[in-house]
Amino acid sequence: NAGVTQTPKFRVLKTGQSMTLLCAQDMNHEYMYWYRQDPGMGLRLIHYSVGEGTTAKGEVPDGYNVSRLKKQNFLLGLESAAPSQTSVYFCASRDTSHSEQYFGPGTRLTVT
């Protein structure tokens, strides 16, 4: 099992560019989450999904969109990147019976 994987690992964008981060899990988990981690602030929830075809806003959703077309994939999109979106992005998943989340290795995004 690969667990939770994220693509890409690193990316540099110019202000105004768009991109999509891909999260994939092979554990048949129902729930998936996108977080951002900034220095000294812990992880903050951007969007999450409780099943295929569903999405919901987290604590800091502005500037991001998500889609969960397939159960194993959760995509995070930035339509018009801003320097404030420079961060490390983590994806996580969990099943319906257990609360603990499994995290991917992260994507380091820099917006110049």
By the criterion CB under 8 A, which residues form the site for another protein?
Answer: 4, 31, 33, 35, 40-45, 48, 50, 58-59, 90, 92, 99-106
DSSP string, the chain: ---EEEE-SEEEE-TT--EEEEEEESS--SEEEEEEE-TTS-EEEEEEESSTT--EE-SS-TT-EEE-SSTTEEEEEESS--GGG-EEEEEEEE-SS----EE---EEEEE-
Compare residues 74 and 90 and give the one whose CB is closer to another protein.
Answer: 90
Q: How far is the CB of 5 from another protein (least distance, A)?
A: 10
Q: How far is the CB of 83 from another protein (least distance, A)?
A: 22
Q: How far is the CB of 38 from another protein (least distance, A)?
A: 10
Compare residues 67 and 108 and give the one whose CB is closer to another protein.
Answer: 108
Compare residues 78 and 89 and give the one whose CB is closer to another protein.
Answer: 89
